[in-house]
């Protein structure tokens, strides 16, 4: 097992990793920018190294500075968290070249799944269902028309270098297709420096369902059920739950088994999340994430597993020590992402926390690095706290979530707490009858479902 882990991240996930290490008797090194000198995980870490000025490119993305901090403190492993360098294959490679363990998959698997086209082709060959569409990139009008006629309209054109919904265009007929193709390629060139686009059948009202995978170095792979992350605004998840209110045990076993088999064949190691769109009872692969995710706590609460500790264990060479039949799902968990943003305008609201009162009681968890007097810097993402609530079933969970939200007070800045307080009482949220467009089209947009 590692003696000292350098946490190459900040905010709530840095604190989450620190807590996992502390319980395992592993020393921690916090690296921080000048703007994060007062961050909670920096205060709690065994050692701390300032790696640069506020901007992420000069600090949390500064590979030489992070490696120097690891060398000077004698860390034997690096945990990248999520975001920043978590899915940077080169970072994983240079960490390993410096004789330390990168807590995550191999650089090859990070690179493989980081490439949209190759990732999709790989998982398709491994038996995972994918969205019907073009084999690879589409360049000419002729090709585009052939692909569209083969699968029928509507079709979606996606920039391969895009992500988070950027560079996507829907076409409902031939004329729209040709205009959309030209526009998409031009915009992709301008925005991503890469004009490559692919085509897929457009799914009109899918849900976003993701399967959590955990694998060790010895070919043992399990799935830990799914998370329903359909409540999103501008491709940012707002609300996540496990398990999904619409997936049956039989479906879970089927899709989970397909993901496990694929990851076994791939020789995958560590945590991984296989993302799907789900519509009319069918799953369609969209991408795979090779990092721990923001929403990992909902899976932890329904399985009883500490996923960050499992990640550290398998990275240090431990076998899983359990098999799929040992994985039991109990109860229901919901996570609300509370952002330091105005809940009407969504304008970021950095600033000093004047007072901070978190909810508690049975089944209430708050993952946050906030404290009274802490100043949220304006340089990074706006995630302020994750409120994660557990219940014996979904209704119990929703009731407990409602109470926890009413108790939560964050003074001195705007937050999206008011949004969550409205969501938890909305009939569609209570029923679980929503899809990826619901928040923007129905809740905000006033459309009928």
Active-site hit among 48, 207, 291, 400: 291
In the complex with ligand MV4, the residue whose CB is nearer, 204 or 325, is 204
CB-CB contact of 331 with 274 (8 Å)? no
Task: State in angstroms the smallest separation of the CB of 161 from ligand MV4.
Answer: 13
Label residue 104 left, alpha or beta by phi (over 0 means left) and psi (-120 to 50 means alpha): left
Task: State in angstroms the smallest separation of the CB of 412 from ligand MV4.
Answer: 32
Backbone angles phi, psi at 205, to 5 degrees: -135, 55
Task: State in angstroms the smallest separation of the CB of 388 from ligand MV4.
Answer: 20
In the complex with ligand MV4, the residue whose CB is nearer, 15 or 229, is 229
Among 17, 286, 366, 410, binds ligand MV4 (CB under 6 A): 286
Stretch 108-137 residues interacting with ligand MV4 (CB under 6 A): 131
Nearest-angstrom CA–CA distance, 392 and 29: 37
In the complex with ligand MV4, the residue whose CB is nearer, 29 or 113, is 113
End-to-end CA separation in angstroms for the chain: 51
Task: State in angstroms the smallest separation of the CB of 229 from ligand MV4.
Answer: 7
Nearest-angstrom CA–CA distance, 139 and 172: 19
Residues, the chain: 449
CB-CB contact of 335 with 387 (8 Å)? yes
Q: Which stretch binds ligand MV4 (CB under 6 A): 202-210, 260-268, 345-353, 377-385?
A: 202-210
Tell me whether residue 291 is one of the annotated catalytic residues. yes
Nearest-angstrom CA–CA distance, 227 and 252: 11
Stretch 397-436 residues interacting with ligand MV4 (CB under 6 A): 436
Site string for ligand MV4, 134-173 (x = CB under 6 A): ----------------------x-------xx--------
Backbone angles phi, psi at 191, to 5 degrees: -85, -35
Told to check if 203 binds ligand MV4 by CB under 6 A, we report yes
How many CB atoms neighbour CB 51 within 10 A? Answer: 22
Nearest-angstrom CA–CA distance, 220 and 65: 35
Among 200, 241, 306, 367, binds ligand MV4 (CB under 6 A): 200
Write out the H or E segment, with its range, that includes residue 270. strand 270-279
Q: Which of 310, 268, 312, 306 is nearest to 290 (CA)?
A: 268
Task: State in angstroms the smallest separation of the CB of 442 from ligand MV4.
Answer: 13
Residues recognised as catalytic: 291
Residues that bind ligand MV4 (CB under 6 A): 131, 156, 164-165, 200-203, 206, 208, 232, 235, 277, 286, 436
């Amino acid at each position: 097992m590692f003696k000292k882990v350098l946490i190459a991240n900040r905010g709530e996930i840095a604190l989450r990793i620190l807590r996992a290490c502390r319980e395992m008797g592993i020393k921690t090194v916090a690296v921080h920018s000048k703007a994060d000198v007062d961050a909670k995980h920096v205060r709690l870490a065994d050692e701390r190294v300032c790696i640069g000025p506020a901007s992420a490119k000069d600090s949390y993305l500064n590979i030489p500075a992070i490696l120097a901090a690891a060398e000077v403190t004698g860390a034997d492993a690096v945990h990248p968290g999520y975001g920043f360098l978590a899915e940077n294959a080169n970072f994983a490679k240079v960490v390993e070249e410096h004789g330390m363990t990168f807590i995550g998959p191999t650089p090859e698997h990070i690179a493989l799944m980081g490439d949209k086209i190759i990732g999709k082709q790989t998982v398709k060959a491994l038996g995972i269902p994918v969205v019907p569409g073009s084999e690879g990139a589409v360049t000419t009008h002729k090709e585009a028309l052939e692909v569209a006629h083969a699968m029928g309209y509507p079709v979606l054109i996606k920039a391969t270098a895009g992500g988070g919904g950027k560079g996507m265009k829907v076409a409902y007929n031939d004329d729209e297709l040709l205009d959309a193709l030209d526009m998409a390629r031009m915009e992709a060139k301008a925005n991503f420096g890469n004009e490559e686009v692919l085509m897929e059948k457009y799914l009109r009202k899918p849900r976003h369902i993701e399967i959590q995978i955990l694998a060790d170095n010895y070919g043992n792979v399990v799935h830990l059920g799914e998370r329903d992350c359909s409540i999103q605004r501008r491709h940012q998840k707002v609300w996540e739950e496990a398990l999904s209110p619409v997936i049956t045990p039989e479906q879970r076993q089927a899709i989970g088994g397909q993901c496990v088999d694929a990851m076994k064949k791939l020789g995958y190691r560590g945590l991984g999340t296989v993302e799907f769109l789900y519509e009319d009872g069918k799953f369609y692969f969209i991408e795979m994430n090779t990092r721990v995710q923001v929403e990992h706590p909902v899976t932890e609460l329904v399985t009883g597993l500490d996923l960050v500790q499992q990640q550290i264990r398998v990275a240090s060479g431990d076998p899983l020590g359990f098999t799929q039949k040992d994985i039991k799902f109990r109860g229901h968990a919901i996570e609300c992402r509370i952002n330091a943003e105005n809940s009407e305008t969504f304008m970021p609201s950095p600033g000093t926390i004047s007072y901070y009162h978190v909810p508690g009681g049975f089944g209430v968890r708050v993952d946050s690095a906030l404290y009274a007097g802490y100043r949220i810097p304006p340089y990074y993402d706006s995630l302020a706290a994750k409120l994660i609530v557990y219940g014996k079933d979904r209704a119990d969970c929703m009731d407990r979530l409602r109470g926890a939200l009413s108790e939560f007070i964050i003074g001195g800045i705007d937050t999206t707490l008011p949004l969550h307080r409205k969501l938890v009482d909305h009939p569609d949220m209570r029923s679980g009858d929503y899809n990826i467009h619901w928040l923007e089209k129905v809740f905000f947009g006033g459309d009928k479902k």
